[in-house]
Amino acid sequence: MITQTVNVLGLKLPKIDPRWWLIINHITLVSLGLIAYDMRRSAVQVGFAFACGILSEILFSAVTRKQVFFSIRDRLMSATILCSATIILVRAEDWWFYGLMAVIGVASKYLLVNDKGRHLFNPTNFAVVFAVMVMPLYLQFRPDTFSASWVPMAVILCFAGMATITAKSWRAPLAYMGTIFLVGLPLGMMLGYHPVRVIGPEISVTTLLFCLAAMTDPQTSPRAPKQQLLYGSLIALVALFLRYNEVYYHQFVALFVVTCLNSVLFSSPGLPPQQQQQIGTKG
Amino acid sequence: MPIKGSKYTGIAVGGALLVFLAVNNRLSEHGYDVYPAKAPDSISELSPVHFTESAQQLGLVAPNRFYYPNTSPKAKQYEPLLSLSPSVSVADVNGDGFMDVYVTAPAPDIPNKLFINHGGKSFEEVAAKVGLDDTDRTYKEPSMAYWGDFNHDGKLDVFMARYGCHTLHTQQADGTFKAALVGYCSQPWSINVFDFNRDGNLDVFFGNYYHAEDLSKYVALEHIFTRAGLPKTGSANAILLGKGDGTFGLLDDGVLKDYPDHTAAVGFSDVNMDGYPDIAVSNDYNPDRMYLNQGGKTLKEVTEQSIPSDKHGFNDMNAEFVDFDMDGLIDLFVTGGFGPPISVSDNLLWKRKSNDSTEYEEVARKWNAHGCGSAWTAKFSDFDNNGDLDFFIINGQGYGANVKDPKDAKSYNYVRNEIRSTPGSLRYTLDSMPDFSNYEMWAFQHSCVMWQKDGQFYDVAQKAGVADYTEDGRSLALVDLNNDGKQDVLVVNMNAPMYVFINDSKTDGNWVGISAIWEDGTVATGARLMAKRTDGKPLVREVFPGNGHHSQNDPRIHFGLGKAKLADDEIAVLWPDGTMERFTHQPMNTYVTLVHGKGVK
């Protein structure tokens, strides 16, 4: 039963686990893409991705015994978010590709951990960066038709936006966008870029999804308000540098770079243990 | 036992990735060394395929330069991307048994060239002498030429598709050519010729590209910078039905009108074996299409059932029908713009599933045929006569005027993909685009010579002597210029003279070359040649010299046999009029001419 509320633009909305908002967001996007936007993913790709994601969640958790207090439902939710996000963000032809991405994302969560035992990378972000950096020839880098459409963007702003507000991690995307406008725009113009070229891709489906679903992962981002602002700005600066050097999926690579340095840069990235446990016992 | 890392695990992971990228040479621009098709040395060593570029020695010098009719500064900047393609067409114009070569050039200051073949040893350029230099551009720039007897006078004519109004150049008694308008104007990138309705007259399929009537007032960039499926920038294809006297009438077919595509290539094959040639078109920016010929009257679009569009690339070109795996079923090869570091779209190798259906399965990656640069034309032949079909694939590149080495330039492909991510109303205009003069597009790979070995294709271009020829290629024609039984390759380039790759592979494999002709000596376009090798492999090929992209091949069918021979020394021909003939006691390692109803010539 939902007892807490969250204040959004003066409206008191029921507070639910932010992951539900992400699941609603991702499933809506996948459905919209497949039905209305010619998103080229086959049933085999989607099915195999979810099967691999769920199985590897169960296997890795059993083997590594990480977060043992998490319920099966938590693991299913986590796998669903990871699989659906990679399906939306990455284009590939091979039937096995998304399955492999799911396994890699889950593996990163259980195997790449910091001194406190917390995972270092947002699993979706890690899977995307792995695909771009290690196996780029299996990717089809051509944005899906819906990448530049307003309806999916509205969906993301609504549902993923709710996830961000509920998780209280909205400062990071705000800082990211702010830095893009305040630093990226003049910098781009100094480099001879037209303003539309600087700003346009930064409000795409991919970037919005990155800002509101990957960058704001409460497990891998700092929680203190000032650190969130610094974190978002830093990612934006690295992303701008990478973009002007033509690195594909520049935002995701930037997030990867910054999270590599998370433990050094920020005092305590990730949720405090009691809050992690709280998530676990909810299930 | 739960895994525990350290404070520096993140740094270690990042460092490991950095080392991986450095070791694999991925930190440099564009990832030029990422090249999946390249053969391992152990395979390359086994291939005897070799070519020697011989344009100068043979006198086959056909220059070309960038040219687009709109001369505004903006169009000029994009000239390397927009320029109209040259074409190459092969036919035995003077009937001496050696193939002659005709090259069209769109730039008004570069005449078309007709090279008469003197025994495969030298060539004489005679275009101006016979009236085919095409220097009068009243009816606009030539797109592609096709040789055929369009008026049944026993002499080869030239159908000249133009970016404007098309002309037929009929050969006169004195060997000169006389031009006449055919009554149809459009902007085709490719044409192909067949007998659509089996009335014995040659018909022309127009793979139209631009929707504009006059390219001099048009900067065709919208489709480069925006998403797929913008019908306003494409144009519906059309079929011009020959009447047999050099005149034509337009087929009134609603099916084609439904698809205003950017067609790059047109291929024919009798897919459903009803005797009527069916059609595959490869499209730039739009999905490819497959049409079944409905008794020579109309067309039925069967794309989704045959070659599902979820596999189609964004810049598909070539349409080559060939039984690449020799299972007796004719397959389809479409090229795509494969551009490391991230694949833009693969080549598509559509393998026919069975004789009973018109369905194909996409197997390019399975056969390692999926990647080779920004591919335009690809054509299959058994270059070393070892019994397996190989293919030659042409790559293109485009870079701005200020770029010295495209490998060091920034990628316009990156910019283009950013544009496609930009919400609609903020869509870039040409004025918001960066100056192309400083960019490159279509990450360049040299042309590939894809040698077939044990069910895989391997690029052996380096060993074959082709890799050092890196001009911006567009189309190629297969032809045996010296009648030695090994197919040579002609490659026309956008901003450089034609390459003439003479096949000098050291091989002792058997082969047979077959001309299938009508009683009047003209090519039996659409004839299906069938035979069996002594090792049981079926041989099947159709006479459609215009399949591929923007070129016309040697009309003679070449079968490499390896150590095998023709079973029962027999070749069967299913003629376009529906009659079937069996020709026995066929010799090998030579060219034979099979005449409809009259046996061997």
Q: How many domains does chain A have?
A: 1
Q: Is A111 on the interface with B (CB under 8 A)?
A: yes
- Would you call B20 and A194 a contact, using CB atoms and an 8 Å cutoff? no
A114: nearest CB among B10, B31, B365: B10
pLDDT value at B1 more than 60: no
Q: Of the candidates B145, B3, B34, which has an alpha carbon nearest to the alpha carbon of residue B546?
A: B145
What tens digit of pLDDT does each residue of B215-257 get? 887 776 655 554 444 445 788 999 999 999 999 999 988 889 8
Query: What's the Rg (C-alpha) of chain A?
Result: 18
Residue A53 belongs to domain spanning:
2-279
- Would you call B2 and A66 a contact, using CB atoms and an 8 Å cutoff? yes
pLDDT at A134: 86
**Chain A: closest CA distance from residue B384 (Å):** 30
pLDDT value at A279 more than 80: no
pLDDT at B276: 97
Q: Is B469 on the interface with A (CB under 8 A)?
A: no
CA–CA gap between residue B56 and residue B499 (Å, rounded): 9
> In this complex, how many residue pairs, one in chain A and one in chain B, have their CB atoms less than 8 Å apart?
171
Q: Is B408 on the interface with A (CB under 8 A)?
A: no
CA–CA gap between residue B521 and residue B539 (Å, rounded): 24
| Confidence label for B134 from pLDDT (cuts 50, 70 and 90) | very high
**Chain A: closest CA distance from residue B51 (Å):** 29
Q: Is A140 on the interface with B (CB under 8 A)?
A: yes
**Chain B: closest CA distance from residue A5 (Å):** 34
Q: Of the candidates B588, B586, B517, which has an alpha carbon nearest to the alpha carbon of residue B156?
A: B517
- Once rounded to an integer, what is the mean pLDDT over residues B413-441? 74
- Please, what is the angle between helix A123-134 and helix A72-89, to 10°? 40
Q: Hey, which residues 150-189 in chain A have their CB within 8 Å of chain B?
A: 150, 153
Q: Largest Cα–Cα distance in chain A?
A: 55
What tens digit of pLDDT does each residue of A81-93 get? 999 999 999 888 8
pLDDT value at B421 more than 70: yes
Q: Is B11 on the interface with A (CB under 8 A)?
A: yes
**Chain B: closest CA distance from residue A93 (Å):** 8
A142: nearest CB among B314, B371, B434: B314
- Would you call A114 and B34 a contact, using CB atoms and an 8 Å cutoff? no
**Chain B: closest CA distance from residue A279 (Å):** 19
- Would you call B424 and A117 a contact, using CB atoms and an 8 Å cutoff? no
pLDDT at B174: 95
Q: Is B255 on the interface with A (CB under 8 A)?
A: no
- Would you call B310 and A134 a contact, using CB atoms and an 8 Å cutoff? no
What tens digit of pLDDT does each residue of A216-233 get? 888 888 888 899 999 999
Structure tokens at A163: 């996830």
Q: Is B404 on the interface with A (CB under 8 A)?
A: no
What tens digit of pLDDT does each residue of B9-45 get? 888 888 888 888 877 766 654 544 445 557 888 899 9
Q: Is A273 on the interface with B (CB under 8 A)?
A: no
Which residue type, as a one-letter code, is found at position B2? P
Q: Which residue has the higher pLDDT, B28 or B285?
A: B285
Give the chain B residue whose CA is nearest to the CA of A130. Answer: B17
- Would you call B9 and A113 a contact, using CB atoms and an 8 Å cutoff? yes
pLDDT value at A271 more than 60: no
Query: What's the Rg (C-alpha) of chain B?
Result: 24
Query: pTM of the prediction?
Result: 0.86
| Confidence label for A281 from pLDDT (cuts 50, 70 and 90) | very low
CA–CA gap between residue A51 and residue A276 (Å, rounded): 25
Residue A271, domain CATH: 1.10.3430
- Distance from first CA to last CA of chain B, Å, rounded? 84
**Chain A: closest CA distance from residue B488 (Å):** 32
Give the chain B residue whose CA is nearest to the CA of A243. Answer: B414
Answer for the pair B473, B492: CB distance below 8 angstroms, yes or no.
yes
- Once rounded to an integer, what is the mean pLDDT over residues B528-553? 96
